[in-house]
Structure 1
Amino acid sequence: MSYLDNIRTFVRVYELGSMSAAARDLRISPAVASSRISQLEDHLNARLFQRTTRRLNSTEQGRIFYDGATRVLDAVAEAEAAVGQVTRDPRGTIYAAAPLGLGRRLIAPEVPAFKADYPLINLRLRLSDRKLDVTAEGLDVMFFLGTPEDSSLRIRKIADCPRLLCASPDYLARKGTPSDPAELTTGAHDCLNLRYPGAPEFQWPLETAEGIKRFAVTGPFESDDGDVLTDWALDGQGIILKPVFEVADHLASGALVPVLEDTPPITVQLAALYTHRRKQDAKVRLFLDFMVKRIVKALSASTKARPSG
């Protein structure tokens, strides 16, 4: 197993471009990661990386070895998955990611039930509203809302998620209820925006009688955490654009009220993204099948819980 560990360490160092980043990812010390790379280089009698004080660059030998190393690891993963299928005893670790709101409300609550069904599978769940790179982050699967930019990855669509604009009754009593989406762009209303470096949406796309239009909304507050925006809206600080499932409980209680229902935000796709080389991994398929059923059920319940009118 030590040689496989050395190969795994090399692959993560190559993909992340950093010894310390790879060590954190593998939950080992930088010294252990460095030692594994040195052992591998001694075994191959070749230098795999050029090391400087600031950068770690792959050599020609390193680039050649990476292609073969990933095939070796894929073959081992597929062999382990095949054994798991035969013995009905799948095992291993799944690395998954999701946006904060989606992860907290639809993914994380189901993890204990998945673990109960498959006790030998461990899950490492990362939640972030920032854009993540599936390959660079070493993820098996990433749940997302929207349209991915990387067409080289496989997509499993789960559902179409309706969205809406909403605000607290206190905010609407103070600022008035907008009757036209153009009011969101004039400063008459405070819009709470999800923004971070590389964020795809700096405008709100709404369905109007003339078709989909994008409105450059304005407001005093922004955050890269969607739940912070919800908290601000509950506190009467402005209007938010949210998937219905994220605010269903607040809508049902009356803590948040829909606005501009005649010009709602466009529906957004909820899907899972994963790499081609993981498609044969039985435990990832089990996880996806399990989560898709639970997510669809939860989304249906959240839509029914939303008050009409």
Structure 2
Amino acid sequence: MSYFNNIRTFVRIYELGSMSAAARDQRISPAVASARIAQLETYLDVRLFQRTTRSLTPTEQGRIFYDGAARVLEAVAEAEARVGEVTENPRGTLHIAAPLGVGRRLIAPHMPDFAQAYPLVDVRLRLSDRKLDLTAEGLDIAFFLGRPTDSNLRIRKISECRRILCASPAYIAAHGHPRRASEIERGQHNCLNLRFPGASEFQWELETEDGPRKFDVRGRLESDDGDVLTDWALNGVGIAMKPVFEIADHLRSGALVHVVEETPPLPVQMAVLYTHRRFQDPKARLFMEFMINRMADALADTQIG
């Protein structure tokens, strides 16, 4: 398997553009990843990458070898999937991604049951609120909260997720209870915003009497972690826009209060995204069906009037 592992490591280094990133992805040390590339280069008698202290660039030979190597890995993955389908005992590794709130509340709690039901499937779960590229990051499945736009991916809708604007009773006592979008526009209230690299300026799309409209909002605090925004809202710092399933317990206890009730945010779609190729993988289909059923039940239990 050493030659095959060398190829696998080469492909991930090529796709991620980083020795250290590929090593993390492969769950090996950067030294092992470097040694695998050295072995591959010695065997092929070519240099696959041009290395400097700051960059790693594929050579012409590296680009040629990647095209064939990627096809080899894809063929092996498809063969494993077909064997698993025949034996009804799927095996292999799945790379899954999800937003932080979705992963922590709706996926991670059910992973032990999935692992017990399918002991030959290894799952690598990556949680992040930033937008992920399935192909570039080697992902099989990505759960999504929003409005997907990539037409090259398949999408399986799970449900529409209601969102609300919320704040703590302490914030309302200090700053008032806004009920319409006009009261939070132009910096009249401190809005807590989700920010990640490449994000546009903050606009909240709310449902008004005249239909959906985007409102410019301002705030002194922002984060790329949705749970951090919840914590800040609980501590009376400002107003957050949150899916109801993430804060249902806080709403029931009164720790957070629904605000701007007359012009609520538009709901977002909970969906799972996957490539056309992964649609044929039985372990990917099993994981999707398993989690979609569990998530649907969990979402039904967190609806707040």
The normalised TM-score by structure 2 is 0.94
Q: Which amino acid aligns with 1:241?
A: M
Change (3 A) 1:179 1:33: closer
Following superposition, the deviation at residue 220 of structure 1 comes to 2.1
Contact 2:167 2:257 in 1 (8 A): yes
- Aligned equivalent of 1:273: 273
Letter in 2 for 1:124: R
- Hey, what's the Cα distance between the residues in 2 that align with 1:197 and 1:17? 18
2:201 and 2:162 map into 1 onto residues whose CA distance is: 16
Aligned to 1:138: 138
Q: Does 1:122 align with 2:122?
A: yes
Gaps of at least 5 residues in structure 2 are: none
Paired residue secondary structure (2:251): helix
Aligned to 2:81, the other structure's residue is in SS state: helix
CA contact 1:131–1:198 (8 Å) conserved in 2:
no
The aligned counterpart of 2:207 is 207
Distance (Å, rounded) in 1 between the aligned partners of 2:159 and 2:96: 18
Cα deviation, 1:59-105, whole Å, max 9, x if unaligned, reads 22221221211111111111111111222221222111111111111
Aligned match of 2:92 = 92
Counting matched residue pairs gives: 305
- Give distance in 2, aligned partners of 1:94 and 1:22: 16
- Cα distance in 1 for partners of 2:241, 2:20 equals 38
Equivalent pair of 2:193/2:222 in contact (CA under 8 Å)? yes
Following TM superposition, by how much is the alpha carbon of 1:173 offset from its aligned partner in structure 2, in angstroms?
Answer: 2.1
Q: Does the 8 Å CA contact 2:168/2:255 hold for their aligned counterparts?
A: yes
Residue in structure 2 matched with residue 24 of structure 1 by the alignment: 24
- Helix, strand or coil at the partner of 1:186: helix
Report the counterpart of residue 244 of structure 1 in structure 2: 244
**Does the CA-based 8 Å contact 1:94-1:121 persist in structure 2?**
yes
Distance 1:88 1:186 in 2: 58
Aligned-pair CA distance for 1:31: 2.5
Partner of 2:15: 15
1: CA distance, partners of 2:155 / 2:61? 33
- CA distance in 2: counterparts of 1:217 and 1:84, whole angstroms: 51
The separation in 2 between residues aligned to 1:220 and 1:33, in whole angstroms, is 42
Percent of aligned positions that are identical? 68
| Cα distance between partner residues in 2 of 1:51 and 1:179 | 58
Aligned to 1:77: 77
Deviations 1:257-283 (A, max 9, x none): 112222110111111122233222211
The AA in structure 2 aligned to 1:217 is V
Question: Is residue 131–residue 199 contact of structure 1 (8 Å, CA) maintained in 2?
Answer: no
RMSD in angstroms over aligned alpha carbons? 1.7
Mark the runs of 5 or more structure 1 residues left unpaired by the alignment.
Answer: none
Aligned pair in 2 of structure 1 residues 200, 279: CA closer, same or farther (>3 Å)? Answer: farther
User: Which residue does the alignment assign to 1:101?
Assistant: 101
Partner of 2:287: 287
Corresponding residue for residue 113 of structure 2? 113
Which range moved further: 286-295 or 89-98?
89-98
Residues 165-204 of structure 1: CA deviation (Å, up to 9, x unaligned):
1112222122111132111023332211111222256111
Note if 1:68 corresponds to 2:68: yes
Residue deviations 1:114-152 (CA, integer Å, cap 9, x gap): 111111212111111222222232211111111234332
CA distance in 2, matches of 1:30, 1:219: 40
Deviation of the 1:17 alpha carbon: 1.3
